[in-house]
Amino acid sequence: MNDAKSIQIILARQLASCIATPVLLVDAQNSLIYYNEPAEAIFNQRFDETGEMPASEWTSRFTAVDDDRNPIPPADRPMGRVLAECAPVSRTMWMRVSGGDWRHLNVTAFPLVGEKGQLFGAMSIFWAI
């Protein structure tokens, strides 16, 4: 079975599904493989409806700007940087999905690194400011 997820990713999803903080989970290719129910409010869509999405698709659903209202391209957002740098990233930003309200958030992303340094993906939490 080639699509079997690693235990690190499975446990990350189980944790995300049990907490009230909005969480996104991406794989090592930055495909969005899960977001929890609290994050559905930010996404304005249910995970059951969207399913997994490649990076090009899910990142284009958000508009993100910094505190001075300068656009933040996907590669500079925490989830983009965390995989490129393989290090935790945290920043504040304004975000909205198409037709939604702007939300002022602190976004913290951290890599999921397994034994022997293998990168499995990353988790991102969203904290309303």
Residue spans of alpha helices (H) in the chain: 7-17, 37-43, 47-50, 55-59, 78-85
Stretch that binds another protein, among 23-31, 65-73, 97-105, 113-121 (CB under 8 A): 113-121
Rounded CA separation 49/14 (Å):
19
Minimum gap (Å) between residue 79 Cβ and another protein: 20
C-alpha closest to that of 83 among 126, 13, 31, 35: 31
By CB under 8 A, residue 48 contacts another protein: no
By CB under 8 A, residue 54 contacts another protein: no
Stretch that binds another protein, among 12-20, 61-69, 70-78, 101-109 (CB under 8 A): 12-20
Instruction: Count residues near another protein (CB under 8 A).
Output: 17
Query: One-letter amino acid identity for 12?
Result: A
